[in-house]
Structure 1
Amino acid sequence: KEPEAKTCVTIDEWIDVWGILVGKAKALSDFPMWLQCYPKVLFEIINRSGSGDISKGELKHFYTAFMDVGKLGEERLNAITNNAFNALTCDGELVLTCHVYKLSFLNFLLGKQPNGPGQYLFGTVTPRNPICSFPIDYSAMNSTEEDRELFGHDKLHKTSRRSVIV
């Protein structure tokens, strides 16, 4: 029997493909040629004036025309554009040239944390659950000496401890 033709992929299949593409890449030259060209093509699409640097207005137009951010309303569109432009240009200290855009694109693909400028290339994505890498437990600061349990490796699996005072 012939395999059924697929018209869409699951999120797991999508992530698997990108996992293979990104893999252990550390530079743009580690990616397939089409992916190396993609940020330059995007830059040229956004930089409608051909000036060699993306203006805040051009970025706003890109978000409106290509990313449907404009459907969120003018106030939200301006907020997203301002946040993105400030992140991509270090609060205006950099000009958003093709080189800076490529670095941000690399941050989008290779960044380990969602805090870099790459998160703004395609608008903004709000995580379903807020990320808290290291929750802080302040209860130990208010406890008495007698209430504190001394740490020992032998106790790691025997208690319900979730934090250690350092």
Structure 2
Amino acid sequence: MSALKLSPFQQEKLQYYFNFFDSDGNGQLELSDLDGFMKKVLDFTGWDVDSQCARECHEVHECFFHTLMEKAEKGSDRINLAKWFRMWDGLIPGCMSMRNFPVWLRLLPKSLFRIIDKKGDEKIDAKELADFYVKFVGIPEGNVTSLVNYAMEQMTDHGKYPLTLDSYNQMFANFLIGRTPYGPGRFIFGCFEHMVQRTEFQLIQGPSDILQDPLSEFKRLQIAQHSPQTPNSLVKVKFFRAA
């Protein structure tokens, strides 16, 4: 078996993302983890189990888990960390933004955005991000204020741009694609600052990657086609390099 092309930092991020879904902590992703994940989502958001938000979130992640199982070995109903790494090792090369990933993955950041955006005003503010870091990710409350202030500063270019779904999609793409710990994607879950020396430089980021309707995309998974899109906006985003 060939060596992984993922960088060590990508592996660290993706291991965290694996554990994010492994609700029973047994080192395997299986369909039973979906129930535990959804319970955590409902506890955090306060959504009623029969609400539209809860149903959409469940359908998006049910699709995700079923697709994972399809990528497991024949006859297996679970995927371990090694297979998880192999899956991403095949998906990430050549991707420049979320629109380059399959639809079943492009739905995930929009769903997570809705989980964090408790006010439902189509943007994430510092209080909502702090709430997510503490209550969902598990970052100690005493450490979160300075982290959130810095995260919001970098994800909004010092407040020039709101943290909308458009920009959040770009951050999430950087979380998956970024090979070094100096991009804004590390703030998706806020737990990778131990890897960073903070030195800033600016990059002009390309087109938006908004999916308007996750359920319609979910229902078209089997026939989804990927069409090239013409960049229609330029958004300033902070990226980072080592000092």
- Tell me, yes or no, whether TM beats 0.5: yes
In structure 2, C-alpha distance between the alignment counterparts of 1:28 and 1:7, rounded to whole Å: 25
Match of 1:22 among 92, 101, 122: 92
Deviation string, structure 1 residues 60-93 (Cα, Å, up to 9, x no partner): 0111111001xx242x111221121111111211
Residue 80 of structure 2 corresponds to 9
CA contact (8 A) 1:22 1:110 kept: yes
Equivalent pairs counted in the alignment come to: 123
TM-score by length of 1: 0.65
Confirm or deny: 8 A CA contact 2:175 2:184 kept in the other structure.
yes
Following superposition, which runs of at least 4 residues in structure 1 exceed 4 angstroms of deviation? 3-8
Q: Is the 8 A contact 1:107 1:118 kept in 2?
A: yes
Structure 1 letter corresponding to 2:155: L
Matches of 1:4 and 1:98 in 2, distance apart? Answer: 38
Q: Match for 2:130 among 53, 57, 60?
A: 60
Whole-Å separation in 2 of the counterparts to 1:48 and 1:22: 30
8 Å Cα contact 1:84-1:121 kept in structure 2: no
Instruction: Give 3-state SS (helix, strand or coil) of 1:51's partner.
Output: coil
Match of 1:115 among 161, 165, 182: 182
Structure 1 residues 100 and 66: alpha-carbon distance in aligned structure 2, compared to 1, 3 A threshold:
same
Q: Give 2:169's aligned residue.
A: 102
Distance 1:4 1:27 in 2: 33
Selected match of 2:160 from 74, 90, 93: 93
Which whole-Å CA distance do the structure 2 matches of 1:9 and 1:97 have between them? 33
Name the amino acid aligned to 2:182: N
Show the counterpart of 2:109. 39
- Deviation, 1:26, is 2.1
| Counterpart check, 1:49 vs 2:109 | no
Distance 2:105 2:75 in 1: 28
Identical amino acids, percent of aligned pairs: 31
Query: Residue 112 and residue 8 in structure 1: after superposition, are their counterparts in 2 closer, same or farther (change >3 A)?
Result: closer
Contact 2:126-2:149 within 8 A present in 1 as well: yes
3-state SS of the aligned residue for 2:133? Answer: helix
Runs of 5+ consecutive residues of structure 2 not aligned to the other structure? 1-73, 198-243
Q: Can you list the C-alpha shifts for 1:97-148, whole angstroms capped at 9, x where unaligned?
A: 1101111111111223321111111112123xx78xxxxxxxxxxxxxxxxx
Query: Helix, strand or coil: the match of 1:66?
Result: helix
Equivalent position SS for 1:94:
coil
- With structure 2 as the length reference, what TM-score do the two structures score? 0.46
CA RMSD of aligned residues (A): 2.3
As a proportion of its length, which structure holds more strand? 2
Question: Aligned residue for 2:149?
Answer: 82
C-alpha distance after superposition, 1:21-48 (max 9, x if no partner): 2122223222121210111111111111
Higher Cα radius of gyration: 1
Structure of greater relative contact order (alpha carbons < 8 Å, 6+ residues apart): 2
Contact 1:27/1:106 (CA < 8 Å) preserved in 2?
yes
